[in-house]
A and B are shown apart, each in its own frame.
Chain A
Amino acid sequence: DLQMTQTPSSLSASVGDRVTITCQASQDINKFLSWYQQRPGKPPNLLIYDASILETGVPSRFSGRGSGTYFTLTINSLQPEDFATYYCQQYDDLPITFGQGTRLEIK
């Protein structure tokens, strides 16, 4: 299966900070990468698809970049509701695979 390596596994930041999470694919996945946010006890919520397209309703402080094997998710001006766990997901090849997750905590 295609492997997705997500870093860091955890991150501490303050409200108002800017943070970046990276995701690296074990082979070229073109632009077929999405990002999800998951809060405790809830299912994942789609933030970004096709590497850089913001899902409807997602705040513009979230942005995604990348293609091929290297991708980033950036959150500008962190808000209290952004402290959650984030996952990348490739859908270039089946089975779909996720990164290990990044837990974003309040400093």
Chain B
Amino acid sequence: EVRLVESGGGVVRPGGSLRLTCLASGFTFDDYGMMWVRQAPGKGLECVSGINWKSAKTGYADSVKGRFTISRDNAKNSLYLEMNSLRAEDTALYYCARGRSTTGTANDAFDIWGQGTWVTVSS
């Protein structure tokens, strides 16, 4: 079964840090680009960051640029999001998602999604 499972969310104070992990299974992880998408309570979808299969190309939303870092370890079938200098407006459900094509590009539609992990930034 193709599956993505996010972990690492939690409650953190403003200015704090968290590291999210997405563990992939059921497919050849390094064939695909990957993405982190977040959704604040009652709001729409925002792509936080994307990465291609060999980590050579990454992209970040302006809202997180300089604070968040995406990375992947293909040997561990894992995608990561390092989040620093967290703000209240970073509070959201964070999803990881898989690119649809096996070209490994980060510029892709996304066909497999995890269930998400909650990040709450509050004092």
Instruction: Show the binding face of A for B, using Cβ within 8 Å.
Output: 1, 32, 34, 36, 38, 43-46, 49-50, 55, 87, 89, 91-101
Per the bound structure, the CA–CA distance linking A49 and B115 in Å amounts to 21
| B interface: dominant SS | strand
Complex CA gap A93/B57 in Å reads 11
- Whether the Cβ atoms of A1 and B62 lie closer than 8 Å is yes
Residue in B closest to A46 when the chains form the complex, CB atoms? B111
Classify the secondary structure of A's interface with B. Answer: loop
Q: List 6 A-B contacts (CB under 8 A).
A: A32-B107, A89-B45, A95-B61, A97-B47, A98-B46, A98-B47
Interface size class of B (residues with CB under 8 A): 20 to 34
The answer to whether B50 and A87 have CB atoms under 8 Å apart is: no
What 1/0 flags go to B83-116 for Cβ under 8 Å of A?
0000000000001010010000011111101111
Q: Mark B56-90, 1 if CB is under 8 A from A, else 0.
A: 01111110000000000000000000000000000
Chain A residue contacts of B110, Cβ below 8 A: 34, 44, 46, 89
Chain B residue at minimal CB-CB distance from A92: B107
User: Scoring B residues 11 to 37 as 1 if CB is less than 8 Å from chain A, else 0, what string do you get?
Assistant: 000000000000000000000000101
